[in-house]
Amino acid sequence: MIIILFLLCIKSVLLFNFNMDNVKEISVNSAYGSDTYFGYSVLLQDGTQPLIIIGAPKLSSRTGGGVFACKLNGICTNYDLVTSNGHTFTGNFLGMSMDGTGETGGPFIVCAPKKVKAEGENNLLPGHCFYKQNSSYVSPAASTVNPLYDKPTISVHNKVGYYDYGFGEAGLDVRFIDRTTVLLGAPGVKNWNGAIVVDSLSNTRTPKIIPERKAFFPEENDTYFGYTVGTATITVMGEQVAVIVGGSPRGGSLNGAVKMYDFDGNLVREFFGEEPGSYFGSSVLAVDMNNDQIDDLLVGAPMGSGSTYDEGYVYVYLSITRSYQAKLTGSRKTGARFGTLISTLGDIDLDGYQDIAISAPFEDDGIGAVYIYRGGSKGIEIVYSQRLSPSSFQGNSGNVRGFGLGISKGKDIDGNGHNDLVVGAFKSGQVFVIKTRSIIDFQLSLDTNVSSIGNGPIAIKYCIYYTQKGKVKDVRLVNFKVKLNMDYRVNGENNFEHTWVVPLERGACENLTVTIQPSMIDIQPFRITLSADVTQTEAIALGQNKIEKLIPFSHGCGDDNVCQTDISLEASSDKKLLVLGLDNTLNLDIFADNHGEPGYQCLLYLNIPVELDYRNKDKCKKNESLICPFASSLPSTANMHLKFDITHLTTDKDSILVQFEIKCLGRNLTPNKQAFVWNVVTKNSPYIEGKSEPNNLYYGNEDTSDQEITHTFTVGNFGPSPAKLVVTFLLPIVDKEANLFKVLSVKGLLNGHSISCSQKYRNNERGHRPENFLVEYVNKSVILDCSDNDSACVEISCDGGYLYRSSETATFDIKINADLKSLGSRYKSEQFKDSIIYVSSAFLNNSTTRIENYASTLIFSASKNSVPLWIYIVGALIGCLLLLLVIFLLYKVGRPNCNF
């Protein structure tokens, strides 16, 4: 037995908005070195001499770890847990997991899940635990708990061997039920399918394996069920049932899983993670956080990526329903692994609800942090109440590493009625004892001698009273900084500030008398505000630190001072019709006529659609309605001018409705809610332009091949209102017997975005050709369009939404293949026609008119105007003969004689 005496370092730290104060540090590094993992597991026991049991799984190679009993006075004693059974000890990890009762001298169990069992030439890891019936005695040696020690190590399935219980690692996690029963997590059972062992601490019954796997399930290999264990009470078929909870962080296709079994081994419920590799189920806790007598389940997923990696989450299943209701995230810090451990603190702030602690041991580059979450009537508060970090402790905390991997349950170790907490920092071998500060509840009161303001003085009395929570009433006096602020209309000083020393459960008060300046009296209520703050840190103060009292003025509206108004409303505007796209503002004048008692503090309640924006909305309050000041007093009549900017007005709106009413102090005898409507109209001027590329073609030659034509249509709108962009195109295919033209593609674009188009074949039904259409060609040309009932056409319909601005245009490129060879064969009998005009039409319907245009391609016959070859030959021969004749005549004549 080794006793270590060291200097206990007390660090005072002020923790915001919660009630943990003094921090004490415990370490055994001076005697054993820094790499002991001291603080990997902790158990806090209260009593007359509180005890902290601390695991150090890498303490030494001789024992393969260690367990210490530490007192608050700075003395730590190493438990005698060494057994001489010839097994190796290096890497046993004694102290990796621990659980027990919360009273000093009570039993506890601590495990060495990697303790080696030699079997022939094999070293196995069935798991090993020690059970101490009294934590106050470090000797004699504890009894052993190793339920898998004599189980089959290797089994054969389909002639293939697999590990049965040889690498079960029972005790990787442990849950102490009572002095007779313990739960051991054994994630290595059945090729790391995993199991939970229900074992007897009194050796009165055979260990039970849950689930009892009678078959081999290779699909569940390496799922690690039993990585963490716990218990819960759930409702099944209307009855409360105690269940065993086990985590399987690699189950559920690596998303992680949590399974619940009853103590007979029947699967009752299971939950699955939502992110692969998050290690969902590596920590679990069942606790009733909303006092509905049904446990709530918290499941950690410490390797959930978050927005970076390994930020970690904790899922909250209220009443253990199938889906989670909240997802806690701590501070969302990279690599924090928030949710590595979840521990119950009990009702640490004495508000009647259970509170919890969640660790993030790798936060802040490995320093670590612990988050405190409070329970409430609606379950857990999703925003943490406090973040515990060594950086907030006084003194040098830069060497702390792994803070939060070991967290105790909450226990009251100083007897003040508030649970305290122990947190281990395993990487630096430190344990911190964090005590709680006392909590006081305080109330403020503010009273006056009048219920309404007249011309007389006002007597004011303001008080502070507080009580202390917890068993010990040690906060006998509390310093409060008190501020009293009064309305600006008070005669004289209107702000007072004091420091009061208030005794416990007796309170303190002060009286004050003020008068109102006669010239300053108006209809606004007289406002008095009282606030108070605690100026000392010995206790946490809970309460409403600010109250306010409003005293109405006497309005001369009867004995009850309640004015009964009778207000009627009318409204007018400079416009009755709103042109979409042209009008940008609206004006509305509201007229109020009061036939009853005077109205005061009159407010205008406006219900306006999203298409309107009230210009003076910064003077209004937004609730279900826009609440704007109308008149401070309304004895008879008043009016108000409103100006709206038109925003987000869509084309499907045919009217705009504004509803309004006026409410004053008191009661209006008749409802005055009214409405004003503007009708919305559209005025637009769309147009269509068409062109062909190329403009003309030739057919009739034997070597003539297919030719591609592009008809391009441009659709625009001169405004001012948007125009619906639904365009129909008609393109002839010539006739029902031969498809001489074929539509290859249709491409529509508006502001760089494609326009959806569809096409179908149809017989022409229009029977209409544009007026003055190519008049000079009509008598000499064959016109191919969709006005001929014998022609077959392709109808293309395109919907591009709306053209909103005059600068917007939509273009449609229609590519057409012309079979020129077949075209020549089809029209060779047309003796008096020298060309074919191929016409495609486009039209859209405006609200009142039909807009239409076309694109055309001229196709000339190459054979109609050609000269036969024999004419060229004969002409050439005649020309040659004439040339020879001229030469012969000149020769016969000879050269003339010329005498000069």
Domain final residue pick, 551, 586, 614: 551
Number of domains in the chain: 3
- Which pLDDT score is estimated for 23? 76
In a domain, residue 402? The reply is no
In a domain, residue 351? The reply is no
Domain final residue pick, 619, 648, 681: 681
388-391 long-range Cβ contacts below 8 angstroms, 24+ apart: 388/15, 388/20, 388/423, 388/434, 389/363, 389/364, 390/425, 390/432, 391/364, 391/367
Within this chain, do residues 545 and 574 fall inside the same structural domain, yes or no?
no
Q: Measure the CA–CA gap between 192 and 251, rounded to whole angstroms.
A: 11
Give me the residues of the chain with pLDDT under 50, please.
Answer: 1-19, 84, 86, 521, 765-777, 900
Contacts for 805 with CB less than 8 Å, ≥ 6 apart:
717, 719
Q: What percent of the chain has pLDDT over 90?
A: 48
φ and ψ at 887, to 5 degrees? -65, -40
Contacts for 279 with CB less than 8 Å, ≥ 6 apart:
249, 250, 256, 300, 301, 302, 303, 304
Within this chain, do residues 542 and 625 fall inside the same structural domain, yes or no?
no
185-197 burial, b at 16+ Cβ within 10 Å, e below that, comes to bbbbbbbbbbbbb
Q: Measure the CA–CA gap between 259 and 272, rounded to whole angstroms.
A: 9
In a domain, residue 407? The reply is no
- Which pLDDT score is estimated for 774? 36
In a domain, residue 58? The reply is no
What is the 3-class SS of 73-137, one letter each residue? CCEEEECCCCCCCCCCCCCCCECCEEEECCECCCCEEEECCCCCEEECCEEECCCCEEEECCCCC
| Residue 490 amino acid letter | V
Q: Measure the CA–CA gap between 14 and 537, rounded to whole angstroms.
A: 8
Within this chain, do residues 637 and 692 fall inside the same structural domain, yes or no?
no
Domain final residue pick, 524, 551, 578: 551
In a domain, residue 697? The reply is yes
Placement of tokens 């040309």 in the chain? 781
Candidates 11, 9, 14, 10; CA nearest to 539 is 14
Placement of tokens 């074949």 in the chain? 761
- As given in the structure block, the two tokens for residue 40 are 């990997």
The helix (H) or strand (E) run that includes residue 297 is strand 296-301
Residue 647's domain spans which residues? 564-681
> Are the C-beta atoms of 691 and 855 separated by less than 8 Å?
yes
The helix (H) or strand (E) run that includes residue 887 is helix 869-893
Within this chain, do residues 672 and 691 fall inside the same structural domain, yes or no?
no
Q: Measure the CA–CA gap between 599 and 564, rounded to whole angstroms.
A: 8
CATH number at residue 691: 2.60.40.1530
Within this chain, do residues 742 and 598 fall inside the same structural domain, yes or no?
no
In a domain, residue 528? The reply is yes
The DSSP annotation for 511-578 comes to EEEE-B-GGG--SSPEEEEEEEEE--SSEEEES--EEEEEEPBP-SSTTTT--EE-EEEEEE-S-SEE
CA 435 to centroid of chain Cα atoms: 36
CATH number at residue 486: 2.60.40.1460
In a domain, residue 580? The reply is yes
pTM: 0.61
- Which pLDDT score is estimated for 666? 78
In a domain, residue 212? The reply is no
Within this chain, do residues 662 and 691 fall inside the same structural domain, yes or no?
no
> Are the C-beta atoms of 562 and 667 separated by less than 8 Å?
yes
Q: Measure the CA–CA gap between 36 and 32, rounded to whole angstroms.
A: 7
- Which pLDDT score is estimated for 9? 33
For 461, what's the count of Cα atoms within 13 Å in the CB-facing half-sphere? 7
Placement of tokens 């929570």 in the chain? 469
Q: Measure the CA–CA gap between 805 and 801, rounded to whole angstroms.
A: 13
Q: Measure the CA–CA gap between 101 and 51, rounded to whole angstroms.
A: 11
Quickly count: other Cβ atoms within 10 Å of residue 365's Cβ. Answer: 11
- Which pLDDT score is estimated for 397? 63
Within this chain, do residues 650 and 743 fall inside the same structural domain, yes or no?
no
The helix (H) or strand (E) run that includes residue 261 is strand 257-262
Within this chain, do residues 821 and 756 fall inside the same structural domain, yes or no?
yes
Residues in the chain: 900
Within this chain, do residues 724 and 805 fall inside the same structural domain, yes or no?
yes
- Which pLDDT score is estimated for 772? 36
User: 605 pairs with which residues across the strands?
Assistant: 627, 661
Q: Measure the CA–CA gap between 716 and 33, rounded to whole angstroms.
A: 84
CATH number at residue 602: 2.60.40.1510
